[in-house]
Amino acid sequence: MKQKKLYYLYYDNCNNSKPNDWVQKENWRKKIAEKVIEDATGGKVDIHKDTATIKTEHGETKVGENQKWPKDKMGDLPELKTNITMVIEDYDKEKDINLGMVYFSDLKKNDAEKYVEAIKNLKYESVLESSSGDGFMYSGKNEKGAEVVFFLYGRWHWNHFLYR
């Protein structure tokens, strides 16, 4: 695949702007960002308020603060009560697998440990567990074949759930 390069140069003299000029500039900035992401992903992009939504033939990705928990993609997992910053919903037709991935921030380690205990109480048998320093990882699978991977490390946190 040929790699695409984009060079973006911008200068704005805000001192001479009128209030309506700022709104117009924000609109064209949004359109440029949408076009760049569309070209990079091959998907349809919509930036609305603080959320960017990318739709492709495989699924949908939403990026922004305080995203909603994707109940339909996360199986029987309880909602994670924290700031969700990205949600990826995907479907692999070839393998008939639904995929939900949630990136989050602002979750304390002890709350993350309680969440993993809740996962274990749902009869997800441990496949792999690891910990070091201020982070840990838990991977489990239930008898229906659903899999969950929960990862917490420092300031980068994500939860990945694969449901078959």
Per-residue pLDDT, 99 = 84
pLDDT tens profile 20-36: 454 455 677 778 878 88
Q: Is residue 133 part of a domain?
A: yes
Q: Is residue 45 part of a domain?
A: no
Q: Which residues of the chain have a pLDDT value below 50?
A: 1-20, 22-23, 159-164
- Helix, strand or coil, per DSSP, at residue 116: helix
Per-residue pLDDT, 12 = 44
Per-residue pLDDT, 163 = 47
Per-residue pLDDT, 26 = 66
Say how far residue 9 (Cα) sits from the centre of its chain.
28
Q: Is residue 82 part of a domain?
A: yes
- Helix, strand or coil, per DSSP, at residue 77: coil
Per-residue pLDDT, 155 = 56
Q: Which string of b and e fits 73-94 if b means at least 16 CB within 10 Å?
A: bbbebeebebebbbbbbbeeee
SS percent in the chain: helix, strand, coil, step 5 = 25, 40, 35
Q: Which of 97, 134, 140, 90 is nearest to 115 (CA)?
A: 140
Q: Is residue 29 part of a domain?
A: no
Q: Is residue 129 part of a domain?
A: yes
Radius of gyration over every alpha carbon of the chain, rounded to an integer in angstroms: 20
Residue found under tokens 């309880």: 78
Amino acid residing at 151: F
- Helix, strand or coil, per DSSP, at residue 120: helix
Contacts of 111 (CB under 8 A, 6+ apart): 81, 82
The count of residues in the chain is 164
- Give the total number of structural domains in the chain: 1
Residue range of the domain that includes 91: 58-163
Q: Is residue 143 part of a domain?
A: yes
Q: Is residue 74 part of a domain?
A: yes
